[in-house]
């Protein structure tokens, strides 16, 4: 590495010397030709000529160096380089004139030579550059095979991309940039013109025969990105984007980072500012355990927790394959922590006790749960067992193992639940708020859907789109809150850091998004038009709501130190009464059928509403796949 660096420096120095000597020769030639022109093609007063030449060369070399004319790379010469030549020649002539007039006034240098030589030198310096560029282009690789691209954006990212595109064998030819800042229209960036605003794209794609559009706006908001995608679709041109600002490593954009536009880009919102120090303070050098570590939320929690330097991280999940992939993903990212993977079921209290006593975690993030609404409607007992009874047991075992903080991952489906899954999450929140503690701080964090989580609407729609199937949505007006997983988990960590015992911390999810609009965005991102893809509405599934809510009407919404995290704690119940109800709920599970369980849940969560399920549709009597029908709805 060191040798290569040294060798390239040596080469560069040689190249600079060569360029310097070559240009000095051109200046000398200019002076002689000027002399010949001035004196009818003869060379009189040779002594003056010979004395003047070194002074001229010194003046020219000094000013050419000042204006960077020894740099080379003439194959990329542009208007700016031409201007630099003119400035250097002007300044050099002035210096030469001053020197001859005041320092060597005895010599009596012919006045017209100043002008003639300057014109010839400028002409030669510009000429060789243009010639060099023309030659380079004629012997360069066949540009016709390069992709003809238009850039959206004329800022710093576009400049970097253009600089890379100019490199030989980049495979691209930049036709121009577009920018909605009208003051930039007409200027040139690295000799590439800013052709107009983004609205001009469709006509420019046709007139310039562009093959692709590169979106070079890393700071684009979701709305801006949606506009770019619409316009590219209208122009029927392929498009790619540079990564979002937050994903750019080391502040540099490169052509190799260009990627397809994703739904996250369209939903992208401003970067959340979280108080890193407070999160780090609570995690660094501690032992943390994540249940459901292999799941969508759990795995992102593991990734982000490692970032804050825990002493140890225990990843617990009942899915062996899930843990296998989690381990692959976390490989090399431990950040000095000892990462342990354990297969285990949270319903197995003996296994859990031995794990907790072995590792004695100081923090537990509880993300293990069943979450699919229609599936849990068919398996009410399992939902209660996993999401409620196991939680009660995890909490007491955690306290027994001297755990200091416990975070329950809740869901917006816990608010006014219309299904078993949501109702069990609500009972979880009630347990966390009401359970007396002997030193373990317990909080729930409630939020809506995260984009692309396992089995959720986006992956289902994407798969249907990929397989050219009809897109199925349960209802044209169904809306859900959406957040990018990484952002939701950042806020979960922030909520963990600031929550007080019993708090329900609710993440600000922005405005709910219509699933139909998401499907349309996915169609556009795939490069198809809505006419090419059929969308079918399959009807709301059991327990599915048109809209989710983030708060109960009776809940007081309180601010926290983080703008995007709200606090509510109006859910306190009498703990012994709640325990009694939970015992009754457990007992109801020994009776066949879901109705007794639903009735008991209703006693605990009075806001829970449900429709009586016809006998033919009860658990075990109807194959799940018939009822699921892969309709993309809520989760
Ligand atoms: N995904 C979302 O959009 C979203 C949004 C808000 C809240 N949540 C909540 O976050 C939690 C996790 O959701 P997810 O999307 O990560 O789900 P997921 O299904 O991707 O992950 C859950 C993980 O928990 C594990 N698990 C389940 N039961 C277990 C048990 N008994 N013992 C051990 N491991 C068990 C599963 O194997 C799985 O790996 C759920 O409570 C869900 O309601 C999810």
Query: What is the 369 CA–ligand 1 centroid distance (Å)?
Result: 5
By percentage, how much of the chain surpasses pLDDT 90?
60
Determine if ligand 1 sits within 6 Å of the CB of residue 349: no
Contacts of 150 (CB under 8 A, 6+ apart): 174, 175, 176, 177, 178, 195, 201, 204, 205, 208, 210, 212, 213, 214
Chain center to CA of 201: 25
Determine if ligand 1 sits within 6 Å of the CB of residue 386: yes
Considering only CA atoms, give the Rg of the chain.
Answer: 35
pLDDT value of position 625: 37
Range with lowest mean pLDDT among 211-225, 245-259, 379-393, 517-531:
245-259
Mean pLDDT computed over 489-506: 95
What kind of fold does domain 143-261 have according to CATH?
Rossmann fold (3.40.50)
Flag whether pLDDT at 623 surpasses 70.
Answer: no
Which tens digit of pLDDT belongs to each residue from 514-529?
999 889 888 988 878 8
Q: How far apart are CA 293 and CA 346, in angstroms?
A: 12
Q: Which residue has the tokens 């429709």?
A: 611
Under CATH, which architecture does the 276-498+510-556+573-628 domain have?
A: 3-Layer(aba) Sandwich (3.40)
What is the sign of the dihedral through the CA atoms of 291, 297, 302 and 306?
negative
Flag whether pLDDT at 410 surpasses 50.
Answer: yes
Q: Write the residue with the smallest CA distance to atom 26 of ligand 1.
A: 368
Query: Do the first three CATH levels of 143-261 and 276-498+510-556+573-628 match, i.e. the same topology?
Result: yes
Range with lowest mean pLDDT among 77-91, 298-312, 420-434, 489-503:
77-91
Contact criterion met (CB below 8 Å) for 152 and 215: yes
Which tens digit of pLDDT belongs to each residue from 343-364?
999 999 999 999 999 999 999 9
Q: Which has the closest alpha carbon to 91: 70, 63, 132? A: 63
Contact criterion met (CB below 8 Å) for 463 and 528: no
pLDDT value of position 620: 39
Q: How far apart are CA 368 and CA 295, in angstroms?
A: 8
Query: What is the 387 CA–ligand 1 centroid distance (Å)?
Result: 10
Q: How far apart are CA 35 and CA 37, in angstroms?
A: 5
Determine if ligand 1 sits within 6 Å of the CB of residue 319: yes
Identify the band that residue 627 occupies on the pLDDT scale cut at 50, 70 and 90.
very low
Q: Which has the closest alpha carbon to 310: 294, 334, 340, 327? A: 334
Query: What is the 371 CA–ligand 1 centroid distance (Å)?
Result: 6
Domain boundaries of the chain, sorted by first residue: 15-139, 143-261, 276-498+510-556+573-628
Q: Write the residue with the smallest CA distance to atom 17 of ligand 1.
A: 295
Average confidence score pLDDT of the chain: 88
Burial category of 469 from C-beta neighbours within 10 Å (exposed 0-12, middle 13-18, buried 19 and up): middle
Flag whether pLDDT at 146 surpasses 90.
Answer: no
Q: For strand 212-215 and strand 238-241, is the pairing parallel, antiparallel, or unpaired?
A: parallel
Determine if ligand 1 sits within 6 Å of the CB of residue 295: yes
Q: Which has the closest alpha carbon to 365: 429, 291, 313, 435? A: 291
Instruction: From the CA of 635, give the closest atom in ligand 1.
Output: 3
Helix (H, G, I), strand (E, B) or coil at 143: helix
pLDDT value of position 7: 61
pLDDT value of position 107: 73
Q: Write the residue with the smallest CA distance to atom 25 of ligand 1.
A: 292
| Phi–psi pair at 535, nearest 5 degrees | -115, 130
By percentage, how much of the chain surpasses pLDDT 70?
89
Q: How far apart are CA 323 and CA 342, in angstroms?
A: 8
Q: Which residues pair with 338 in a beta bridge?
A: 312
Flag whether pLDDT at 412 surpasses 90.
Answer: yes
Query: What is the 110 CA–ligand 1 centroid distance (Å)?
Result: 90
Q: Write the residue with the smallest CA distance to atom 8 of ligand 1.
A: 411
Determine if ligand 1 sits within 6 Å of the CB of residue 292: yes
Mean pLDDT computed over 472-485: 92
pLDDT value of position 178: 96
Which of 182-196, 255-269, 340-354, 536-550 is most confident?
A: 340-354
Contacts of 615 (CB under 8 A, 6+ apart): 621
Determine if ligand 1 sits within 6 Å of the CB of residue 393: no
The helix (H) or strand (E) run that includes residue 288 is strand 287-291
Determine if ligand 1 sits within 6 Å of the CB of residue 373: no
Mean pLDDT computed over 46-61: 91
Determine if ligand 1 sits within 6 Å of the CB of residue 297: yes
Instruction: From the CA of 412, give the closest atom in ligand 1.
Output: 6
Identify the band that residue 86 occupies on the pLDDT scale cut at 50, 70 and 90.
very high
Q: b/e for 267-285, b at 16 or more Cβ within 10 A?
A: bbeeebebeeebbbebbee
């Amino acid at each position: 590495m060191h040798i290569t660096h040294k060798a390239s420096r040596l080469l560069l120095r040689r190249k600079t010397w060569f360029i310097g000597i070559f240009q000095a020769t051109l200046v000398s030639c200019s002076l002689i030709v000027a002399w010949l022109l001035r004196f009818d093609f003869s060379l009189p007063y040779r002594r003056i000529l010979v004395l003047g030449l070194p002074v001229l060369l010194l003046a020219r070399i000094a000013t050419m160096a000042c204006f960077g004319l020894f740099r080379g790379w003439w194959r990329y010469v542009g208007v700016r380089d031409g201007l630099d030549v003119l400035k250097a020649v002007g300044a050099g002539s002035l210096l030469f004139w001053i020197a001859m007039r005041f320092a060597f006034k005895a010599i009596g240098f012919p006045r017209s030579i100043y002008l003639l030589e300057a014109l010839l030198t400028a002409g030669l310096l510009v000429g060789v550059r243009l010639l060099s560029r023309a030659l380079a282009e004629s012997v360069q690789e066949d540009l016709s095979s390069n992709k003809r691209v238009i850039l959206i954006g004329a800022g710093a990212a576009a400049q970097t991309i253009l600089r890379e595109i100019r490199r030989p064998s980049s495979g691209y030819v930049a036709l121009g940039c577009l920018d909605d800042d009208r003051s930039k229209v007409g200027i040139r960036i690295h000799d590439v013109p800013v052709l107009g605003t983004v609205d001009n794209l469709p006509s420019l794609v046709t007139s310039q025969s562009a093959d692709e559009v590169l979106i070079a706006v890393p700071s684009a908001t979701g709305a801006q990105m949606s506009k770019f995608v619409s316009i590219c679709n209208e122009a029927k041109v392929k498009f790619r984007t540079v990564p979002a600002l937050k994903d750019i490593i080391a502040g540099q954009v490169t052509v190799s980072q260009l990627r397809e536009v994703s739904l996250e880009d369209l939903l992208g919102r401003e970067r959340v500012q979280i108080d890193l120090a407070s999160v780090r303070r609570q995690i660094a050098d501690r032992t943390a355990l994540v249940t459901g570590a292999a799941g969508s939320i759990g795995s992102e929690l593991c990734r982000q927790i490692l970032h804050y330097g825990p002493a140890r991280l225990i990843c617990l999940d009942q899915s062996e394959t899930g843990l296998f992939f989690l381990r692959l993903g976390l490989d090399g990212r431990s950040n000095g922590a000892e990462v342990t993977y354990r297969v285990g079921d949270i319903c197995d209290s003996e296994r859990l006790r031995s794990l907790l006593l072995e590792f004695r975690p100081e923090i537990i993030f509880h993300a293990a749960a069943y979450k699919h609404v229609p599936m849990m409607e068919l398996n009410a007992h399992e939902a209660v067992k996993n999401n409620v009874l196991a939680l009660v047991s995890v909490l007491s075992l955690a306290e027994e193992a001297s755990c200091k903080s416990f975070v329950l991952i809740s869901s917006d489906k816990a608010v006014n639940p219309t299904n078993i899954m949501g109702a069990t999450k609500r009972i979880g929140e009630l347990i966390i708020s009401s359970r007396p503690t002997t030193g373990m701080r317990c909080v729930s964090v409630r939020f809506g859907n995260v984009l692309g989580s396992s089995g959720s609407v986006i992956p289902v729609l994407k798969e249907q789109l990929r397989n050219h199937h009809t897109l199925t949505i349960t209802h044209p007006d169904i809306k859900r809150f959406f957040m990018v997983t990484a952002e939701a988990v950042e806020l979960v960590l922030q909520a963990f850091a600031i929550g007080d015992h019993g708090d329900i911390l609710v993440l600000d999810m922005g405005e709910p998004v219509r699933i139909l609009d998401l499907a349309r965005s996915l169609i556009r991102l795939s490069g198809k038009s809505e006419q090419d893809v059929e969308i079918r509405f399959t009807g709301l599934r059991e327990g599915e709501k048109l809209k989710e809510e983030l708060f109960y009407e009776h809940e007081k919404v309180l601010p926290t130190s983080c703008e995007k995290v709200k606090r509510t704690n109006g859910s306190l119940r009498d703990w012994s009464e709640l325990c009694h109800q939970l015992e009754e709920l457990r007992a109801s599970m020994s009776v066949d059928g879901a109705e007794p369980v639903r009735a008991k849940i209703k006693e605990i969560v009075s806001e829970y509403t449900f429709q009586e399920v016809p006998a033919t549709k009860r658990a075990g009597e109807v194959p799940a796949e018939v009822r699921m029908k892969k309709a993309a709805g809520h989760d």
